[in-house]
Structure 1
Amino acid sequence: MSEVPSVSVICPSYNHGRHVGDFLRSMLAQTDPRWELIIIDDASTDDNVSKISLFADSRIKVIVRAHNRGVTAGMNEGVALSCADLVAFIASDDVAHPRYVERVLAAFANSPSAIAAYVELDRMGLDGASMGEPCT
């Protein structure tokens, strides 16, 4: 990686082999490339790690644990490994909007004293269709 990323996206992951490809494609489709992704696989017993390994990108770091330690430990480990000033958390069964990173960075640029930001959540079914009103 030639420059320090602007945001470290931390992604604890456990047995999301069915969904992790969609998540990774959504990260690779970001309009702003100034991110790193740290995936902490929490000793998955499905094909999660093999699915993740299909996505080669210098911004993606994968840590595979031998023993399950839980989502909070994964989040803490990801933060410890992060390089950016900003940290975001996302689950590996989520799909990020193409402008997710762009909008997070803009929110902090527009409000320099902010210490946190959140995004709207649109619940989707397995078929990718919206399941109703977005959650905030």
Structure 2
Amino acid sequence: MSNLPPLTTETIWAIINDTIDDVTVNRLVWHYLGYRYNSTTEEWDNQELAPEWREEYPEPPNFLESRPATMKLTRSIPQENKQILKEKLGFKGYKIGEFGPRQTRRATAANWLLSYMQIHQILC
């Protein structure tokens, strides 16, 4: 999982603005959830995952294609951080007619990552 962009507000904006590819968005979420890829065995190590993720998703899901995985990601955001994109970054949402499920799921990933930053005091 090398070559991930740093976890910064610029990276969060890049996710929202669709300037980071979907694969990298997934890899960022996987990394901070605790998934680790072992290139020697060519398998995913999920020992750092919370048990509820390990049981349901032993291998990392594609959050931008899987509604159930994205819903689980949404539910894992603490209530006080549900509006963190709006509160910390001033994100007003996407304009009607200019977004679909993919953009909504990217916003969920961005919200989860920003919440992670808040919880772990990574915010700039």
Query: Normalized against structure 1, the TM-score is what?
Result: 0.25
Query: Normalized against structure 2, the TM-score is what?
Result: 0.27
Higher strand residue share: 1
